[in-house]
Structure 1
Amino acid sequence: MIFKNCVLHSIAGNTLLRQRRSKELLHRLGDSVPPATGISQLNPKYDLGKTLRRTKIAQLQPEDIFIAVKTTGRFHSSRLALLLDTWISRTKEHTYIFTDTKEEDYVLKGFNIVLTNCSPEHSHQALSCKMSAEYNTFMASDKKWLCHVDDDNYVNPRVLLSLLSAFPPDSDIYVGKPSLDRPIRAHELLSNNKTREVEFWFATGGAGFCLSRRLAHKMAPWASGPRFEQTSAVIRLPDDCTVGFIVERRLGIPMVHSPLFHSHLENLQLLSPSQIPLQVTLSYGLFENKMNSVVLRGTFSSEDDPSRFKTVHCLLYPLTNWCP
């Protein structure tokens, strides 16, 4: 199987230490993550209702979040159009779509389309090129958070806002979900063609992740301008791995692990219907040669809504004009 994000041979290393750091940070916030069947929990005492009541969401506004969607021309009609009709319709003003193909119709409809000069290929270089564009565009904005997602993700804006509101302002936060339960091992290219083995956690891009502005600013020596692509070449890994490398290895800042983010590389059917509205992101796609999506009953059939994104959207926003 060819994974679209960096899923490599990993080792345990400092797993317990890193998980404990994430748990302690979330404990200091007074929050963690809602229970999700089949997912390792950092704090099983989490109560989303209590979090929503205690969190001063007004301090962080939806427009403070820069949501970057990475896509490519061949997926505009099959993937992106679905997102535009569903969750992006609720976050249109502060969602930016990074693509390699001009789509005049989307621009005329008022969507923020960022045309990169990146290759449409699904290579390490092309992926890092688009992530570099995301980072640089965010840094040129006045937004407080950069949240990256792929074109097969559904974002729940309200839960995203609640999660990010729980973190102290002006803190160094890199939050997302790793592909595995252990750090990856990579080989950093040194001078004279020598290498050294490094290990670090990274948040898989296929589930989405967020970076605070304070942390993004600290990443600049390895991420601004052309530097992100150069750093990616040093470890010869894709974009999401490169973010983890910069944050954990270059800056020494631990990733905050959250099971609220989901990619198609996990069994999405393990999420119960009652848990689905509590997640930051969902996904869909083929997993072990079978369609992998959340299980949620609704008026849309599996043929009409294989991703179940329409069904989820109508659950969250039942007054949407095309919802049954």
Structure 2
Amino acid sequence: MTERGGRSVRFLSCFLLSFVPLSSSTHDVTAGGSRKTVDSQVPVHQLIALRDVVFVIQSQRNSYHAQRAEQRRAHIFSQSQSLKQGSPDVVFLHELSEYDGNWGILPALPRLAEGYCPSSSWIFFLEEETVVDLARLLGVLSKFSSGREWFLGRALYDAEATIIHHYAFSDEPAGFGYPDFIAGWALSCPLVKRLADYVKHEPPKSDFTIDLKHEIALYIWEEGRGPALTDVGEFCSELHGSPNTSHCASTVNTYLPSCGNPVEKEDLFVAVKTCQKFHHDRVPVVKKTWAKDAALLEFYSDVTDPAIPTIDLGVPNTERGHCGKTFAVMRRFASGDVTRAPWLLLVDDDTLISLPRLRRLLHCYDPSEAVSVGERYGYGLSQGGYSYITGGGGMVFSREAVQRILSSGCACYSPDAPDDMVLGMCLNTLGLSVTHSPQFHQARPDDYPKEVLIRQSPISFHKHWNVDPVAVYQQWLMDTTEPFQRLLGREFRQEL
């Protein structure tokens, strides 16, 4: 093992030791720049009933994800039969209303408050791979008075101020906790009702939704006027069936989609957007790292450079946006003159990506559907806005999606318009949802909690700023055998 690999394993071992659960007698509560401990040995109230909890699965419209959400709901229902308390309310977030922006949670709160809180006490949010132990969850929630405002979850903390969190709490970034969604998180109905009323006249200050879990925590905390996240040790992000999870009310079925063999190399056409000034620094990094894994790859620039080679589509370079270039690439792909591949990947010249991992992910999706996959951002979600795949982490489109976009008449309002946002507006107009994968990343590894990255087997990162991009690729993206998942105990995984 190389010295780099040795350091990675030693770091991971320390990380696994950090998973020893918090004592059930304490809960860490963060309060914007400071951390305090609250004794959770509050009197245990009468054990709440299953009807007191509404389960909201943070589902997606794509057929694969809808199926996974159905499996999660079935598992909850099967447990409820053994409790003999009737079937609980299990809500798919994507079905709560026609509005596709409900994934931003805040837009969904008024409907949750009105439809469920009059007869329930808690809203418990979970992802499609979150495994819930109903009996333990009821026991955990019974420790907290449902008549008060509670925001419960497994806390994540930033090691340093990060761009994806707008450099919040730069003096003490590790002092603010935000929920690890995959472990599940809960809001008491008094808090849901207040937030539902508040969001109607006081939307988030930023129009952009970038890292939802952090932004939700900020909005709820409201600069100290609202509750901070209470860190609950029984909400766990370890794999279901792994050691030291017997106390857990929630665990994780799998960190990664498992859909069989990867799609063929020839099924993925890769388009790299570049320009002349980056031919000698960024393009060589692409060739030194991930380009070798592509069967079909073209570089698109503002000049023809046979040494690379690059293709000039006749679109002048712009300092930002690059919408004109992106639509020109999509027209070239859709024409069928270059390839009939079912998938198109659009990346920047400073995107780092693992194509083998991407091809494994794509096998979960049906290219005959209008699929767009990547890291999902939102714009103006609390005011009826739209979602989009952020470009730096890589945008993946099925051929059907590309053809639907181009045939709809969607176009750039200017050549330097932000291509990813324009595409998001086009998809929204067409009534097509974007599909989020946490394996794509708009920023650098240092901008994300390490314990989250380790379990993801990342597909992409973006930016060469203050990093050695080759080293980033070698550490996080080059090994396609998913060593992090093996060391985290993937052998304990149980399909549920």
TM-score interval for Structure 1 and Structure 2 normalised by the shorter chain:
0.5 to 0.7
Match of 1:20 among 30, 36, 59: 59
Residue 314 of structure 2: aligned partner: 117
Q: Are 1:156 and 2:336 an aligned pair?
A: no
SS in 1 for 2:401: helix
- Distance in 2 (CA, whole Å) between partners of 1:146 and 1:18 is 30
- Distance in 2 (CA, whole Å) between partners of 1:201 and 1:42 is 24
Q: By how many angstroms is 1:198 displaced?
A: 6.1
Residue 494 of structure 2: aligned partner: none
Q: By how many angstroms is 1:99 displaced?
A: 1.0
SS in 2 for 1:308: helix
TM-score by length of 1: 0.66
Match of 1:175 among 373, 383, 387: 373
Residue 251 of structure 1: aligned partner: 430
**Corresponding letter in the other structure for 1:47:** T
Residue 81 of structure 1: aligned partner: 284
**Corresponding letter in the other structure for 2:296:** H
Q: Are 1:240 and 2:420 an aligned pair?
A: yes
- Distance in 2 (CA, whole Å) between partners of 1:34 and 1:284 is 30
Give CA deviations for 1:150-199 in whole Å, capped at 9, x if unaligned. 111111111101111101341121111134xxx3149xxxxxxxxxx861
Residue 264 of structure 2: aligned partner: 61
Q: Are 1:209 and 2:395 an aligned pair?
A: yes
SS in 1 for 2:281: helix
- Distance in 2 (CA, whole Å) between partners of 1:147 and 1:309 is 18
**1:160–1:22 CA distance, 2 compared to 1 (3 A):** same
Is the Cα contact below 8 Å between 2:268 and 2:343 reproduced in 1? yes
Give CA deviations for 1:20-63 in whole Å, capped at 9, x if unaligned. 3348751415798999x7775499735257x44x4243xx3111
- Distance in 2 (CA, whole Å) between partners of 1:99 and 1:46 is 43
SS in 2 for 1:118: coil
The alignment's C-alpha RMSD in Å is 3.7
SS in 2 for 1:219: helix
**Corresponding letter in the other structure for 1:26:** H
- Distance in 2 (CA, whole Å) between partners of 1:167 and 1:314 is 23
**1:315–1:47 CA distance, 2 compared to 1 (3 A):** same
Match of 2:472 among 301, 304, 308: 308
- Distance in 2 (CA, whole Å) between partners of 1:42 and 1:98 is 41
Identity of aligned residues (%): 18
Is the Cα contact below 8 Å between 1:261 and 1:280 reproduced in 2? yes
- Distance in 2 (CA, whole Å) between partners of 1:18 and 1:218 is 29
- Distance in 2 (CA, whole Å) between partners of 1:34 and 1:106 is 43
Q: By how many angstroms is 1:130 displaced?
A: 0.9
Is the Cα contact below 8 Å between 2:62 and 2:433 reproduced in 1? no
Greater relative contact order: 1 or 2 (C-alpha under 8 angstroms, separation 6 or more)? 1
Residue 254 of structure 2: aligned partner: 47
- Distance in 2 (CA, whole Å) between partners of 1:155 and 1:79 is 14
Q: By how many angstroms is 1:238 displaced?
A: 1.3
Number of residue-to-residue matches in the alignment: 253
Residue 22 of structure 2: aligned partner: none
**Corresponding letter in the other structure for 1:122:** E
**1:97–1:173 CA distance, 2 compared to 1 (3 A):** same
TM-score by length of 2: 0.45
Residue 261 of structure 1: aligned partner: 440
Residue 101 of structure 1: aligned partner: 303
| Gapped regions of structure 1 (runs ≥ 5) | 1-16, 108-112, 187-196, 294-301, 318-324
Give CA deviations for 1:37-96 in whole Å, capped at 9, x if unaligned. 7775499735257x44x4243xx31111111111111111111111111100221x3112
Is the Cα contact below 8 Å between 2:458 and 2:476 reproduced in 1? no
**1:252–1:161 CA distance, 2 compared to 1 (3 A):** same
- Distance in 2 (CA, whole Å) between partners of 1:310 and 1:114 is 28
SS in 1 for 2:424: helix
Is the Cα contact below 8 Å between 2:375 and 2:441 reproduced in 1? yes
Residue 245 of structure 2: aligned partner: none
- Distance in 1 (CA, whole Å) between partners of 2:436 and 2:453 is 22
**1:246–1:276 CA distance, 2 compared to 1 (3 A):** same
- Distance in 1 (CA, whole Å) between partners of 2:456 and 2:290 is 13
- Distance in 1 (CA, whole Å) between partners of 2:304 and 2:406 is 28
Per mean C-alpha deviation after superposition, the further-off stretch among 160-169 and 21-30 is 21-30
**Corresponding letter in the other structure for 1:275:** I
**1:90–1:266 CA distance, 2 compared to 1 (3 A):** closer
Residue 275 of structure 1: aligned partner: 454
Q: Are 1:228 and 2:411 an aligned pair?
A: yes
| Gapped regions of structure 2 (runs ≥ 5) | 1-55, 73-126, 131-155, 158-179, 185-236, 238-251, 482-496
Q: How do 1:284-323 and structure 2 match up within 5 A?
A: 284-286=463-465, 291=466, 308-312=472-476, 315-316=479-480
